[in-house]
């Protein structure tokens, strides 16, 4: 399970298909882009927004993809917890999805994040992700096995939409949910007004603004690292280059949003969701209740 921030991390010449083949040469059965599950959660977040934002005073605190942001709210701003959408992270969604389709699978998340190692062990979501590696650790694995990803075969599976791909950079979640909401609820009376914070200092500042009532946004996106996941502590590229690669990869997606992505619709049907709206019905594999 490769994090959305992977583009360019293993050199410019390493395409998603070459990276998949490189991982297979190390012994993995396959490589799935977590961006595909970020797509599904984007769809869920759009419907959560539509359900919860009914007055000008309502707001949501996203993104569920960043454990530092979620931990900050739970520890220091607990009165705001009810505003977190009840969703697992794309990493956990991906792990659960794989294990639903292939119960004996061992799942390994690979990304730029150290906090994901702790998230995978949190009691209420444990079991979805068996191991977490960083990009640096994956590169060390390639080096130790004398595998050059740029020389591998191009084993391409192009499944994610632009929405899921840009989760890698700050502002990506907001743009993804905005575009998806525009597709599924074009006539909404109250539009999505997003504000982003990246880095813990900015995240705290935005949450303080919420408490003091000085913020007019109704969709607040927090990412613990400066720049978002492309600025994660175990990235290989600079934040600027990582952002550029993420944006470029998003621009090359065949589908713009998850509602236009046939792989999302097919996967949801395989998971037992009859309609996309049923993503927010009751408890399901993508639900997480925060306290």
Q: Which residues bind ligand SF4 (CB under 6 A)?
A: 65-66, 68, 112-113, 115-116, 223-225, 228-229, 232
CB closer to ligand SF4, 66 vs 176: 66
Contact assessment for residue 46 and residue 60, using Cβ atoms and an 8 Å cutoff: no
CB of 275 to ligand SF4, least distance (A): 30
Of 280, 93, 62, which is closest to residue 178 (Cα–Cα)? 62
CB closer to ligand SF4, 9 vs 255: 9
CB of 224 to ligand SF4, least distance (A): 4
CB of 136 to ligand SF4, least distance (A): 13
Looking only at the bridges linking them, the beta strands covering 194-198 and 131-134 are unpaired
CB closer to ligand SF4, 53 vs 177: 177
Q: Which residue has the tokens 């998230």?
A: 119
Q: Which residue has the tokens 């942001």?
A: 69
CB closer to ligand SF4, 232 vs 250: 232
CB of 142 to ligand SF4, least distance (A): 21
CB of 128 to ligand SF4, least distance (A): 16
CB closer to ligand SF4, 149 vs 224: 224
Q: Which residue has the tokens 């399970």?
A: 1
CB of 89 to ligand SF4, least distance (A): 8
CB of 198 to ligand SF4, least distance (A): 7
CB closer to ligand SF4, 97 vs 242: 242
CB closer to ligand SF4, 22 vs 223: 223
């Amino acid at each position: 399970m490769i994090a959305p921030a992977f583009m360019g991390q293993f050199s410019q010449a390493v395409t998603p298909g070459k990276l998949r083949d490189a991982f297979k040469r190390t012994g993995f059965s396959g490589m799935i882009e977590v961006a595909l599950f970020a797509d599904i959660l984007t769809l869920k977040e759009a419907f959560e927004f539509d359900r919860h934002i009914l007055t000008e005073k309502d707001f949501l605190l996203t993104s569920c993809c960043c454990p530092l942001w979620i931990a900050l709210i739970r520890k220091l701003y607990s009165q705001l917890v009810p505003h977190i959408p009840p969703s697992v992270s794309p990493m956990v969604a991906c792990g659960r999805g794989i294990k639903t389709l292939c119960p004996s699978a061992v799942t390994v998340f690979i990304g730029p994040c150290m906090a994901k190692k702790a998230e995978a062990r949190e009691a209420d979501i444990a079991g979805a992700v068996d191991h977490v590696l960083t990009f640096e650790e994956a590169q060390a694995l390639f080096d130790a096995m004398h595998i050059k990803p740029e020389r591998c075969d191009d084993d391409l599976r192009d499944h994610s939409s632009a929405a899921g791909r840009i989760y890698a950079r700050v502002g990506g979640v907001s743009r993804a949910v905005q575009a998806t909401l525009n597709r599924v609820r074009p006539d909404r009376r109250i539009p999505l007004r997003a504000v982003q914070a990246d880095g813990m200092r900015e995240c705290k500042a935005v949450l303080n603004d919420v408490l003091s009532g000085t913020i007019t946004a109704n969709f607040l996106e927090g990412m613990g690292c400066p720049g978002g996941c492309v600025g994660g502590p175990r990235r290989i590229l600079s934040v600027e280059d990582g952002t550029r690669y993420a944006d470029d990869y998003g621009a090359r997606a065949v589908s713009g949003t998850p509602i236009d992505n046939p792989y999302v619709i097919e996967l949801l049907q395989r998971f037992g969701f009859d309609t996309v709206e049923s993503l927010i019905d009751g408890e399901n594999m993508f639900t997480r209740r925060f306290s």
